[in-house]
Chains A and B, each alone.
Chain A
Amino acid sequence: MTFRQRHLALPVAVAIVAGCLAPLAVLVAFSFYEVEDFDLIPAFSFRAWGELATSGTDWFLIGKAVLSGLTTTVFTTILGYPVALALTRLAASAKGLAIIVLLTPLYTGEIVRIYAWRIVLGGEGLVNTVLQGIGLIDEPLKFLLFSPFTIGLVLTYNNLPFMVLAIWVSAEMVDRRLIEAARDLGARPIDAFSRVVFPLTTPGLAAGSLTVFALSAGELLTPSLLGGTSGATAMALVDNLFGTAFDWPLASALALALLATLFLVASAMAGLLLRLKGARAVIGRT
């Protein structure tokens, strides 16, 4: 990279620092403030941090966010690979169309999708009506809607395009001759995948995983509108503390703790994925 090229990144870097770190600094300051009669009073109080440290609920919800992010990442990875690899096999003209189709659900907006899921998964919804119609079940399957299952299903569905796109871009760059060579040398398709394709697409997998993890761990609407009584999230709690409770110090402390935890987990994920042999080969190439 030349000196001048590097400078092109400067405005973006400045914007990221100003737009991200500055509000974070404000959160840090708020977390030490005190609240009196709905007024934030500058102080150096550890009340919020003390309350956070001893709150089982807060840490349970932070753990739930991590778990939700990780499971969504795993499911989108398993489902995303076959789709991404199939995309690479399409004719160039069909690829554009396939990508548009892949992204179609994202054009509809989250609230529309949420209510559509209710129509599909509800007690009198599409899936239950069909299953009852063909005589597979007598009573509607209630767990389809308003359960942890629903949250997992919908988060996986919503985030799948991000994973597929990231893996696909990586997979397009894999030299076909390497796969052919592996096959010529007697590798079964599964071995060619696990020893050639998978290692060489780990940068895409890493990009997809980090995106999906961030999006799903911080999701608020889907759990609260489709998760039923199991829909409580750390994000909703932060919202509640900032709004209804007007406890900005505790809300700030919880938001920072959530952010730090997600950052640590994401860093560990990135470290693990990029340490893989294939990733090193791809990234070292540039």
Chain B
Amino acid sequence: MQRFILNRRQMLGGLAAGAGLSLLGPMGRASAAVSEIVWATWDSNGHPEYVTAFEKATGTKVKLSFLSSEDAQFAALKTGAASDWDVVNPSLNQARRYIKAGELMPLDLAKVPNLAHMYDVFKATEKVKGEDGQTYAIPYLWGLNPIVYRSDIHTEEPTYSTLFDPKFKGQLAMRDYALESIAIAALHIGIPRERAFLLTSDELAEVKKALIAQKPLLRTYWQTIGDLTNLIATGEVTAAFSWRVPYDALKDKMKVAMAKPKAGIMGWCDCFAIPASLPEEKVETAYKFADYLLGADYASTIAEIGNYATTSSIIRDKLTPEKQEAIFVDDLSVMQNFMWPEAPENYSEWLKVWNEVKAA
């Protein structure tokens, strides 16, 4: 908390200094030019061609620094190893962790005009707010985590319970990730989706039983999405809780499909955020970049190349129905069935259960 106050003070000081400098005319402006910002993000969110429009418009180069995992990003911010990052990429479900740790700068939303086009479900989220009521992160990219399955083998669209069905023994896979795997088991044993991330110790014990019973049915736990794509491509796995990547990679080569279980669709959402330690002279550019991420150029290129939707409705109506379907914005009611994985209060208990399941 102390760190946050310090940063605000620094920021106010910086603003005052900036105002003073601007009185000096051209000299002041020259010192404010930012030649480059470093964006820490996933490789799928930050292809070089996704940011060329921003670079042309502002003259600021965007250097991409790809993340290996959310935890590594958090650890790098926490330990100060990320001092060259100017814009970071916390996920919506973990944003609070960064905010609590004092790693992010409070945002002035007035500097991001494109927020006006954001879908309500993202506008309304409280997960990007600190206890002080200020906003610290802006959701910009989202998607669904479907079950990807071989449609020649699974003639009925799978549900989460398919992943626990002995009929498909040895062909199933779950992600090696406590948060989603435990929530899926909770849905499978009948816990409603509103409570899937709020399990009591007794419920966790029931979930653990289900997950241990599931183990012999699984071919493996997948580690990375490339790993799972390989497993589906080689016929080892015919249905898995997944990301959309294997579907896109394999749809022209084999019969694969995506299922969006009615019990609750696991959504993911990435956020824009500024590290608390960002030097004052770069803050304005960072805001411009936030506005770019919610603008039309980024939305069009990432929809076209990556099949991802931004949180902004800015280009939705201009897309073909096929493209709308591909990026899940054809039927906006899907947003009512979202489940946002979120780290529960008793997360350490969840992790313990998950580690016990894996070692069982």
Show the binding face of A for B, using Cβ within 8 Å.
37-39, 57, 60-61, 115, 118-119, 122-125, 142, 145-146, 224-225, 227-229, 231-232, 237, 240-247
Contacts and interface: CB of A to CB of B under 8 A. Distances in A.
Say which size band chain B's interface belongs to: 20 to 34
Nearest to A114: B227
A247 B236 CA distance: 35
A115 B358 CA distance: 22
A61 B178 contact: no
Interface in B208-233: 215-216, 218-221, 223, 227, 230
Given A57-B359, A237-B355, A243-B75, A39 B101 contact: yes
A130 to B, nearest CB: 16
Contacts of B359: 57, 60-61, 232, 237
Between A145, A228, A244, the greatest number of chain B beta carbons within 10 A of the residue's beta carbon is seen for: A244
Given A60-B359, A225-B227, A237-B359, 12 more contacts: A38-B74, A38-B100, A57-B359, A61-B359, A118-B234, A123-B235, A142-B170, A229-B358, A232-B355, A232-B358, A241-B351, A244-B178
A224 B227 CA distance: 11
Nearest to A243: B71
Nearest to B350: A245
Between A38, A122, A242, the greatest number of chain B beta carbons within 10 A of the residue's beta carbon is seen for: A38
A38 B347 contact: no
Contact of B69 (A123, A142, A243): A243
B170 A224 contact: no
A228 B220 contact: yes
Given A119-B234, A225-B227, A228-B218, A245 B101 contact: no
A119 B178 CA distance: 28
B356 A57 contact: yes
Contacts of A232: 355, 358-359
B176 interface: yes
A7 to B, nearest CB: 37
B218 A37 contact: no
B251 interface: no
B348 A122 contact: no
Contact of B223 (A122, A125, A224): A224
A115 B223 CA distance: 13
A220 B15 CA distance: 49
B63 interface: no
A123 B171 CA distance: 10
Closest 3 CB pairs of A and B: A243-B71, A232-B358, A228-B220
Nearest to B177: A244
A254 B138 CA distance: 37
